[in-house]
A and B are shown apart, each in its own frame.
Chain A
Amino acid sequence: MRRIIAILLENEPGALSRVVGLFSQRGYNIETLNVAPTEDPTLSRLTLTTVGDDKHIEQITKHLHRLVDVVKVIDLTGGAHVERDLMLIKVRAVGAQREEIKRTTDIFRGQVVDVAPNVYTIQLTGTTDKLDSFVSAMAEMDILEVVRSGVAGISRGDRVLRL
């Protein structure tokens, strides 16, 4: 099962490598990883997605807790949450394709953020599934480049991850 794990991390050199190292050391997979400072400059917020059963995820969270640089850990998939992935996708757009690509982008509520004579660059946000669907919908087109931010996630309602 896919899980989204959110971590508050000391904003220290080497802290991220400890988290990433833990996954490779213990044979766990990281599917996506997203990290940036928070409103408190001493803390970074890290969101990662991984796949595993309950036992697996329990071990991962326990080992994450053991890292001294890790301040807090939650499994967002354990409750209601909002998740967003950002994608920038560059496709070849010539002739009739230009209209078709624009239409598909509108359907997915994406935006064309850069236009060149033969190329569109499209921005799209949403869940991983939505982004995957868009890439499938563009399968007929000539996709030149895809870049995704990885999932960023937050709990719904009162539940907060802070000190």
Chain B
Amino acid sequence: MELLSGGEMIAQALKDEGVEFIFGYPGGAVLHIYDALFKSDGGVPHVLVRHEQAATHAADGYARATGRPGVVLVTSGPGATNAITGIATAYMDSIPMVVFSGQVASHLIGEDAFQETDMVGVSRPIVKHSFMVRHASELPETIKKAFTLATTGRPGPVVIDIPKDITRPDEKFEYHYPESVRMRSYSPAQRGHTGQIKKAARMLLGARRPMIYSGGGVILGEASDLLVALAKHLNYPVTNTLMGLGAYPGSDPQFLGMLGMHGFYEANTAMHNADVILAVGARFDDRVTNTVSKFCPGAKIIHIDIDPASISKTVPADIPIVGPVREVLTELIAQLDKIQAGEPEPLPDPDALARWWQQIEEWRGKHGLWSGRRYGESDYIMPQQVIESLYRATAGDAYVTSDVGQHQMFAAQYYRFDKPRRWINSGGLGTMGFGLPAAMGVKLAFPDSDVACVTGEGSIQMNIQELSTCKQYNTPIKIINLRNNYLGMVKQWQDMQYEGRYAMSTYEDSLPDFIKLVEAYGHVGMQVRKLADLDAAMDEAFAMRDRLVFLDVFVDPMEHVYPMHVAPNGSMKDMWLSKNERS
């Protein structure tokens, strides 16, 4: 058996685990590890970010796009605390990630040593689990446990805190990386309960106004093909959450669009009127349900989720099914077949379903997002037009990351994602500054694919230093800045709820010249002010295959995102459809 130091074990274990990239930033407490990585022959490549928050977002973007865990390495103290926002982002969206944080030497812990922070304590509420390594010989098993926990069951971030002395080069121990590990207190469900699945199949077939409401769990559980198979089998309408976009093809006629606060009129209205809702890998978030007590009053709810704590948390489920979405959907489809084959009458009732579709088409025709132009006109480019131009230029096949705000909602609404893992955004935590580093992580994973980051002037400045990382590692992403000179979503709420008092939501004349800025970082900047120039500029940007292009598009500063749920006290069907039109 090999004898390795703690630092060498980490380098070797990452290789044995098949890790493709480490995103990180060195510092005192992790120097032994960095030295081991440096010396490691054919070791895992490391991406040096410019701020640890970006390391976590880049690893996160990589994980969302590939389905493999993102790996982060940061030093103790400020390195660790800078990573916190990114860990919380991954936690809220159940993204697999393993974060190695350095810690001061064991004998200094608790003494307020230089760059000491209780990382296990600070990160506790935002990790799936965390470890403090007490001896170098524990490293291989601890690392295997961390990867196992991060990627199985409901995925999430795992922190491994490593005191500096554990990694010292002069103390070597036997190294053997385990194939698998068992934890007596950890056993995520391997399949759903057959009795519950049978009941669910019967309820689904008896539905007269059914809806399939699916979320990020379908993407995490790699079950998009089965979701499509189920929806096609039944000819039932489908809506996706913000996190679930792409799990069902956005351009399919059975797709009613996103639901929730900025969901499509047809999706929200159909949900409100449904009699049976099949929720798959979704968690009835407050941004979906609006007022919980008014949520879908006539609906029976079947809820499939890997995490029992997500079931009946906000909205009680009539038929809860705990299990991995792939296994449960496979069994559900088989049960549907069996019941349908055994019944003399066709199930579901074809007349009821036809009437339901007719009703949905009526809603679609009246206020649907694709029923003609849903946004106004002005001398400016409308932000929605920018997303439509992006969709056209990339043939709907790009990886699109976003930051948080109006631009995020416009991208979610107007870019019809046909494939899972193409829409990369911070849905749960809503982290501004996510888009650029996430795009970097995606581009490293898929260097030959188009990767766009849709952003705004507020968000992009929260991690703009990563333009430097993009230069170093040659990640030619396209940054589409919807520039309205406001914190757009804040301004929208101030327009709607605070009589237009723009408290701290404008930059006045302080915005940088983004073109010069990106040029200073060695990239290409382009400015677009006229609609007539938009498509050509977009095409030109994507034609520059090997350059990062920052497209600064001046858009209408007064535009709002619609539909928007009426709140407080509104139901799913209560929406603003424009500044002066309600559902």
Q: Taking beta carbons and an 8 Å cutoff, which residues of A are in contact with B?
A: 10, 13-14, 17-18, 21, 25, 55, 58-59, 62-63, 65-66, 68-71, 163
Contacts and interface: CB of A to CB of B under 8 A. Distances in A.
A59 B313 contact: yes
A18 B309 contact: no
Contacts of B183: 68
B309 A68 contact: no
Contacts of A163: 184
9 contacts: A62-B309, A66-B307, A66-B309, A68-B128, A68-B129, A69-B185, A70-B185, A71-B184, A163-B184
Contact of A17 (B121, B129, B309): B121
Interface in B55-97: none
B531 to A, nearest CB: 48
A71 B121 CA distance: 21
B132 A14 contact: yes
Given A14-B130, A68-B183, 6 more contacts: A13-B132, A21-B125, A55-B316, A59-B313, A68-B186, A71-B184
Contacts of A65: 308-309
A68 B184 CA distance: 9
B185 A10 contact: yes
A63 B312 CA distance: 12
Q: Which 9 A-B pairs have the closest CB atoms?
A: A62-B309, A71-B185, A68-B129, A62-B308, A25-B125, A63-B309, A68-B186, A21-B124, A66-B309
A55 B132 CA distance: 34
Contacts of B120: 14
B149 interface: yes
Interface in B167-207: 183-186
Nearest to A71: B185
Given A68-B183, A68-B185, A163-B184, A55 B312 contact: yes
B159 to A, nearest CB: 11
Interface in B107-142: 120-121, 124-125, 128-130, 132
Nearest to B185: A71
Contacts of B125: 21, 25
Interface residues of B, number: 19
Contacts of A21: 124-125
Contacts of A25: 125
A70 B183 CA distance: 11
A17 B184 contact: no
B338 to A, nearest CB: 31
A63 B120 CA distance: 19
Given A63-B309, A68-B149, A18 B124 contact: yes
A17 B308 contact: no
B92 to A, nearest CB: 13
A40 B154 CA distance: 30
Interface string B293-312: 00000000000000111001
A71 B312 CA distance: 23
Contacts of B307: 66
Contacts of A68: 128-129, 149, 183, 185-186
A33 to B, nearest CB: 17
A71 B185 CA distance: 4
Nearest to A58: B312
Nearest to B184: A71
Interface in B307-332: 307-309, 312-313, 316
Contact of B309 (A13, A59, A71): A59
Contacts of A18: 124
A71 B124 CA distance: 18
Contacts of B186: 68
Contacts of B184: 71, 163
Contacts of A17: 121, 124
Contacts of A70: 185
B383 to A, nearest CB: 37
A163 B185 CA distance: 9
Contacts of B316: 55
Contacts of B121: 14, 17
A62 B125 CA distance: 16
Contacts of A59: 309, 313
B304 to A, nearest CB: 16
Nearest to B149: A68
A68 B187 CA distance: 9
Contacts of B313: 59
A17 B121 CA distance: 8
A69 B132 CA distance: 13
Contacts of A13: 132
A63 B128 CA distance: 11
A13 B106 CA distance: 14
B549 to A, nearest CB: 43
A117 to B, nearest CB: 43
